């Protein structure tokens, strides 16, 4: 099975900072990669799919890139409401594995 890893596992940044999270698949998954945001006590929310396509209603400060095995989620200017755990996920085929998550909080 394909394994998903994320780095860093956590980060602290200031409001307005550019934040980058990396996700790596152990084998190529083309662009079948999604990013989810889970705020404390809330349900996961789809942010980006097909590695770089923004889900409707998601602020444009979020962006994604990558293909194959290496992917990136970028928040161009961190806002207080972005404090959350971010998960990547492969969805090309079963098992539909999630990465371990990256916790983002404010410095």
Partner 1 sequence: QVQLVESGGGVVQPGRSLRLSCAASGFTFSSYAIHWVRQAPGKGLEWVAVISSDGSNKYYADSVKGRFTVSRDNSNNTLYLQMNSLRPEDTAMFYCARVASSGWSHPFDIWGQGTKVTVS
Surface-to-core class of residue 47, CB atoms within 10 Å of its CB (0-12 exposed, 13-18 middle, 19+ buried): buried
Which residue in 38, 63, 65, 72 binds partner 1 (CB under 8 A)? 38
Near partner 1 by CB under 8 A, which window of 10-18, 20-28, 63-71, 91-99? 91-99
Look at strands 33-38 and 84-90 and give their pairing.
Answer: antiparallel
> Site for partner 1 (CB under 8 A): which residue of 2, 11, 46, 54?
46
What CA–CA distance (Å, rounded) separates 23 from 55?
18
Cα 27 to the center of its chain, rounded Å: 18
Q: Does 62 bind partner 1 (CB under 8 A)?
A: no
Residue 100 binding partner 1, by CB under 8 A:
yes
Residues of the shown chain interacting with partner 1 in the complex, contacts defined by CB under 8 A:
1, 32, 34, 36, 38, 43-46, 49, 55, 85, 87, 89, 91-101
């Amino acid at each position: 099975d394909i394994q998903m890893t994320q780095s860093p596992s956590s980060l602290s940044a200031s409001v307005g900072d550019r934040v980058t999270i990396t996700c790596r698949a152990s084998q190529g998954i083309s662009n079948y990669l999604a990013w989810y945001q889970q705020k404390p006590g809330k349900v996961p929310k789809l942010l980006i799919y097909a590695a770089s396509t923004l889900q409707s209603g998601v602020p444009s400060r979020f962006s994604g890139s990558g293909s194959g095995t290496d992917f990136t989620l970028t928040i161009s200017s961190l806002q207080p409401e972005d404090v959350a755990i971010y998960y990547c996920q492969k969805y090309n085929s079963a098992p539909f594995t999630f990465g371990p998550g990256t916790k983002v909080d404010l410095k």
